[in-house]
Amino acid sequence: MEANGFGPQPFPELKNDTFLRAAWGEDTDYTPVWCMRQAGRYLPEFRETRAAQDFFSTCRSPEACCELTLQPLRRFPLDAAIIFSDILVVPQALGMEVTMVPGKGPSFPEPLREERDLERLRDPAIVASQLAYVFQAITLTRQRLAGRVPLIGFAGAPWTLMTYMVEGGSSSTMAHAKRWLYQRPKASHQLLRILTDALVPYLVGQVAAGAQALQLFESHAGHLGPQLFGKFALPYIRDVAKRVKAKLQEAGLAPVPMIIFAKDGHFALEELAQAGYEVVGLDWTVAPEKARRRSGGWC
């Protein structure tokens, strides 16, 4: 399959496949390590690179994304790299304006507040074509990794993306997004379907460009209780995995392990373990040994 001109590449042979073998459930000699926010402000070289341009300009620069992705591996013996990007490039590709305000975080000057606002969104079928710079960054990074470790691609899950698009930025209560779920359930499902339809080709495109594993971030799972999560988040998490796997097979691309990370979603561990992902990520609120028992060994 070709994704914006990026089909399977003749990349260097992988030298350290420990992370991938663990993700597929195989025995490994040691526990592979990679870090959330692996490329981050804790690195002085990261701060120096980021100072050259604003956040989303950095995200749109394949060279900058490649450099930021590789920086942690020059310091630490990590077992995987995760591409530097942001989950909010998807709402941008759907036509929403997003800025990153220093000291505040992401801001949507014109959030979705009414059902009719959905008409402002672009056709999700064209989203992947708007994100060629992500595919370019992945391909460049795979080449420069020279097979040292595998490269992880990622995206935000539909509910998490919806919260930003409706709230207009970060929120401690998600009041606007929850109001949508209660007062506009049909419109909420419509938006979540739009996001799912955008995410599937985007994630498949990342694999075509060189990603060797995929992670879906449901960062705002904890703002939903079990009932709302089961109605408005979990079905779309499942759908993303099912459709990505089918599209990879249809395109003749090798399968890659998929990770679901639902922050504060410990109440749904059993359901997440059956959602079609090879790995269920855990946060600090749940003990790993208990999670493994509850999930049948998937965590």
Q: Are the beta carbons of 200 and 194 closer than 8 angstroms?
A: no
Q: Are the beta carbons of 111 and 167 closer than 8 angstroms?
A: yes
Question: What average pLDDT does the segment 30-44 reach?
Answer: 92
User: Over 80: is that where the pLDDT of 211 sits?
Assistant: yes
Report the pLDDT value the prediction gives residue 2, as an integer from 0 to 100.
43
**Architecture of the domain whose range is 18-295:** Alpha-Beta Barrel (3.20)
95-120 tens-digit pLDDT: 999 999 988 899 999 999 999 999 99
Report the pLDDT value the prediction gives residue 41, as an integer from 0 to 100.
85
Tokens describing residue 255: 């399968």
Please tell me the distance from the alpha carbon of residue 275 to that of residue 229, in angstroms, as a whole number. 13
Report the pLDDT value the prediction gives residue 73, as an integer from 0 to 100.
96
117-136 tens-digit pLDDT: 999 999 999 999 999 999 99
User: Which positions are catalytic?
Assistant: 37, 41, 50, 86, 164
Q: How many CA atoms lie within 13 A of 233 on its CB side?
A: 33
149-198 tens-digit pLDDT: 999 999 999 999 999 999 999 999 999 999 999 999 999 999 999 999 99
184-200 tens-digit pLDDT: 999 999 999 999 999 99
Q: Report CA-CA distances (Å) from 156 to 143, 163, 182, 248, 282.
A: 25, 11, 22, 19, 16
For residue 10, name the pLDDT band (cuts at 50, 70, 90): confident
Report the pLDDT value the prediction gives residue 7, as an integer from 0 to 100.
52
For the chain, what are the domain ranges?
18-295
